């Protein structure tokens, strides 16, 4: 009786194993793409039967045509030249988010910083080292409250005002591609542009996505790839801002690329990098930039008071040693 039962069960078990192997083999593959955009590299990994690189780059081109200061035909370039142009929906969305975060951070985030960034040599024009008179004159045309969107038009209180969305463009580009993936019904993906990331679902190993935070080592050539920590994240946007890769020295003094919109000078404080996790990458990007302006203490207080985001800060203590601080909500992501 037992032998008969085994003879019946073994073929069924064999069929089950064969079917399982067939299903696993037929599982939708993960695609991987990379390319150049916004002066940096993008990477995309997504589970889909077809390669979508052309479509991904078409989405990124829309962002470039709206927000790139290097594209002379872009919406932002035309606005900076005071041409009569109607902003598109991408530009309008980014300006709306920028205004919101400028208000929340009391002006630490400010897209009118462009002329100051340029004169310090960190914008799309390389400027000479500025004197105090130059800085003071540019502060007169700096301030997020000096611009607004009204009746579908972008209005500047002074025609000399120039804007730059470089602090959110990469994050927003990642969001735009993520939305395209969502429209395609893709459940598992990672899109990263210059370190700004959006993730959803699981990676090819069926686990949450593992994203590293670099150690803040002076490394203008981006040679050092040592990690401070690794985060396990999914269904969020993540961005990091730091002063350890974009800086220069003059007369023995280090000048970081983060400009304080209120003083007009590069920031001088102990915060080395700020990583932010938020529901979307554009917001994470903007908050990370804001924190690099605000410094450690103000950033800690802001992050703790805003439970919609989580933050991981790397800073230098009074003895010159590297330390970390993170929100309580960040603990669940740390590998």
Burial label for 127, CB within 10 Å (0-12, 13-18, 19+), is: middle
Report pLDDT for 24.
Answer: 43
pLDDT tier at 257, thresholds 50, 70, 90: confident
CA distance linking residue 26 with residue 6, whole number of Å: 30
Other CB atoms within 10 Å distance of the CB of residue 70? 12
Beta strand ranges found along the chain (DSSP E): 30-37, 40-47, 147-150, 153-156, 189-193, 196-200, 209-214, 227-233, 236-242, 247-250, 253-256, 271-278, 310-316, 322-326
* DSSP designation for 51: -
pLDDT tier at 130, thresholds 50, 70, 90: confident
pLDDT one-digit tens code per residue, 151-202: 889 999 999 999 999 999 999 999 999 999 999 999 999 999 999 999 999 9
Q: Higher-confidence residue: 298 or 269?
A: 298
pLDDT one-digit tens code per residue, 13-26: 555 555 444 444 45
CA distance linking residue 141 with residue 114, whole number of Å: 10
Report pLDDT for 273.
Answer: 92
Q: Determine the length of the chain.
A: 335
pLDDT one-digit tens code per residue, 213-228: 988 875 544 555 688 8
pTM for the full predicted model: 0.87
CA–centroid distance for 55 within its chain: 21
Q: Higher-confidence residue: 118 or 157?
A: 157
CA distances from 289 to 101, 111, 224 (A): 11, 11, 22
Give the residue among 180, 234, 205, 192 at the shortest CA–CA distance from 44: 192
Q: Higher-confidence residue: 122 or 229?
A: 229
Percentage of residues in the chain with pLDDT exceeding 90? Answer: 73
User: What is the average pLDDT value for the chain, to the nearest integer?
Assistant: 88
CA distance linking residue 307 with residue 309, whole number of Å: 5
Q: Which two tokens stand for residue 289?
A: 């930039």
Q: Which two tokens stand for residue 282?
A: 């554009």
Contacts of 30 (CB under 8 A, 6+ apart): 45, 46, 47, 188, 204
End-to-end CA distance of the chain: 53
């Amino acid at each position: 009786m037992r032998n008969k039962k085994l003879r019946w069960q073994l073929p069924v078990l064999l069929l089950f194993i064969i079917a399982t192997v067939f299903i696993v083999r037929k599982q939708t593959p993960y695609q991987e793409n990379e390319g150049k955009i916004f002066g940096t590299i993008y990477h995309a990994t997504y589970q889909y039967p077809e390669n979508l690189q052309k479509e991904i780059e078409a989405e990124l081109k829309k962002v470039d045509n709206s927000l790139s200061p290097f594209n002379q035909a872009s919406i932002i370039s035309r606005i900076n030249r005071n041409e009569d142009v109607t902003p598109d929906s991408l530009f309008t969305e980014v300006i709306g988010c920028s205004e919101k975060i400028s208000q929340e951070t009391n002006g630490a985030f400010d897209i009118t910083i462009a002329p100051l960034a340029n004169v310090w040599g960190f914008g799309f024009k390389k400027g000479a080292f500025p004197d105090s008179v130059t800085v003071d004159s540019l502060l007169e045309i700096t301030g997020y409250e000096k611009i607004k969107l009204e009746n579908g038009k972008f209005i500047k209180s002074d025609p000399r005002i120039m804007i730059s969305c470089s602090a959110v463009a990469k994050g927003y580009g990642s969001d735009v591609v993520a939305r395209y993936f969502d429209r395609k019904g893709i459940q598992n993906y990672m899109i990263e542009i210059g370190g700004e990331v959006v993730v959803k679902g699981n990676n090819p190993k069926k686990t949450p996505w593992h994203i590293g935070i670099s150690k803040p080592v002076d490394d203008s050539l981006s040679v050092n790839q040592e990690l401070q920590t690794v985060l396990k994240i999914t269904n969020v946007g993540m961005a990091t801002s730091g002063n350890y890769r974009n800086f220069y020295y003059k007369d023995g003094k280090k000048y970081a690329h983060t400009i304080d919109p209120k003083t007009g000078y590069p920031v001088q404080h102990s915060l080395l990098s700020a990583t932010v996790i938020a529901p979307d990458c554009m917001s994470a990007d903007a908050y990370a930039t804001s924190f690099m302006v605000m410094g450690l203490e103000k950033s800690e207080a802001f992050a703790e008071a805003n439970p919609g985001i989580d933050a991981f800060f790397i800073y230098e203590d009074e003895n010159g040693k590297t330390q970390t601080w993170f929100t309580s909500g960040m603990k669940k992501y740390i590998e």
